[in-house]
Structure 1
């Protein structure tokens, strides 16, 4: 798609926001009938669980994209990659936090990201049950249900509230480095998947640190976090893109990011 009226890639990304909301609405409609129901659970090749809600939500979003933007690429957790080398690529995680969804915790999220030449420029974090929707577009202030959000102003590790999904995702040296950071922080709260990043964007957490993430896990999060004033990189401080190594360091402020990176890098 050419940029209308000589728009930059960042401003052009905002043109896709109405469709991104429709994708989130379609995913909500597919997911909610299965919430706290006795639905069947399958195990994928990597032993992670998947349900009809995951598959139905991604199918609904893919159908919309195929109808509206057939030239765009799609990378989805459940149904793979189509035209992944396109200029614009949508990255879909229909139910991030499937285990939370299965047990009835309202902390799972639908993640909808948009890449331009491999870099995240638009993201939606949608929590269907609580009807919370965070939106981030590059170079714009992020919002929660239409209201601007901002990360905290914490700059010292000793005051930082640290979050991560679970110790099982921090093996070996990654776990050792995380433990060194954890010892310096005020406290740690475990669990939450993508919801951790949404809460950091609204000032709840000050640091989120994880490893082993895949593109569909983080693509939508980057614009939301950065539009709220936070920083989101890999553990070395590099900007995240489609080929990143899966390590993620998110901080509410630049000072906090630098202090955490010194312990993780």
Structure 2
């Protein structure tokens, strides 16, 4: 007789998802193999999710809801599951970010997480070589769903020009990422400015930081160091954060000029390169 691992549903969102998947599958009279065939995966994968050996994706949750007719139960739960895969020190920020009405961020090294493509995110998150890279990427993409809410936040991003030139992954990855940024240029609720090299010294030199504004909560400033993140609503810290951010916006290119620079870098640095034969002919 096969050993069935018992789960404590209260242990974590992932344990709760696995235990409920098993309970509802058995209630429907389906084996793992039979459910897998319905949702286009193996019975082994169903078993891995049921025993928390595999983190479910949103697509998996949606297919299970359709197969078991659970009225969106797993689709609603999977958001909590994926958020739980974020580093423990980052989870409080992610929760506040999801509630913010206005997000302002200065990024000196990489594109802001909410605007990253999947392949770019994989390159960024994979730099430290974590064991759970797939789960971290899925969690980052899940964070981006807040831009699709019925009432999404206003997001204002200032990117250092170095972000456009720093290769993350392949040239194709960078080209797709910059093209993705350009898709936001006509959106009312996402604004992107580039801080050019010519700006010289500026208040963002100490590093990236985020500012969150809420309808019913004090503003928050968030920073990170090598070990963890730091979030505070201290009035002095928040006031300085907004002062610095105003200066960065003033020194940055306009939204229109920023889009033109992004498009230029995308073509000039990451566009199609001539082959050796083409260069010889030229």
TM-score by length of 2: 0.25
Compare the two structures and name the one with the higher helix fraction: 2
Compare the two structures and name the one with the higher strand fraction: 1
Considering only CA atoms, is the larger Rg found in Structure 1 or Structure 2?
Answer: 2
TM-score by length of 1: 0.26
